[in-house]
């Protein structure tokens, strides 16, 4: 079946603009995760959804970052007033039940460049 999809694949924006990144998880997966991969920083966790609620937002770097999930499916990560340090690859993953032992399946990512 279809894997995790993300759009857009690439986004170039100017400093100060808002951006929205979209994630479509694998059908039937209740858990959804957002990660960020920056050059030299590795992968860092941003936020976790179980259904439509986000019990763990601990990784969001500032209040400019927010995310929502509707219908237990699609999720949108919004970055307001983008800064150059927001440039990174944003990866989305989903898992079947959100249990600690679940395998997480990753999408191809959105490469964000803030000029």
Partner 1 sequence: KQEVTQIPAALSVPEGENLVLNCSFTDSAIYNLQWFRQDPGKGLTSLLLIQSSQREQTSGRLNASLDKSSGRSTLYIAASQPGDSATYLCAAPSGGYALNFGKGTSLLVTP
Question: Among residues 18, 43, 60, which one has the least CA distance to residue 104?
Answer: 43
Q: Which is nearer to partner 1, 76 or 105 (CB)?
A: 105
| Contact assessment for residue 78 and residue 69, using Cβ atoms and an 8 Å cutoff | no
Binding mask 46-75 toward partner 1 (x if CB under 8 A, else -) reads: --x-------x-xx----------------
Q: Which is nearer to partner 1, 19 or 48 (CB)?
A: 48
Q: Which pair of tokens denotes residue 84?
A: 């150059």
Alpha carbons within 13 angstroms on the beta-carbon side of residue 93 total 20
Considering the complex, what minimum distance in angstroms separates the CB of residue 23 from partner 1? 11
Q: Which is nearer to partner 1, 56 or 68 (CB)?
A: 56
25 binds partner 1 (CB under 8 A): no
Q: Which of 91, 94, 112, 114 binds partner 1 (CB under 8 A)?
A: 91
Q: Which pair of tokens denotes residue 32?
A: 């959804």
The length of the chain is: 115
CA–CA distance, 38 with 87 (Å, rounded to integer): 7
| Chain residues in the site for partner 1 (CB under 8 A) | 4, 6, 31, 33, 35, 42-45, 48, 56, 58-59, 91, 93, 98-101, 103-109, 111
């Amino acid at each position: 079946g279809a894997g995790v999809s993300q759009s857009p694949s690439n986004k170039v924006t100017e400093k100060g603009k808002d951006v929205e990144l979209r994630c479509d998880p694998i059908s039937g997966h209740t858990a959804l995760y957002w990660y960020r991969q920056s050059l030299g920083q590795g992968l860092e966790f941003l936020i976790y959804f179980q259904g439509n609620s986000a019990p763990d937002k601990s990784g969001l770097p500032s209040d400019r970052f927010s995310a929502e999930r509707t219908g237990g499916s699609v999720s949108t990560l919004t970055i307001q007033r983008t800064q150059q340090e927001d440039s990174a690859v944003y990866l989305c993953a989903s898992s079947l039940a959100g249990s600690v032992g679940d395998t997480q399946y990753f999408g191809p990512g959105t490469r964000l460049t803030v000029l």
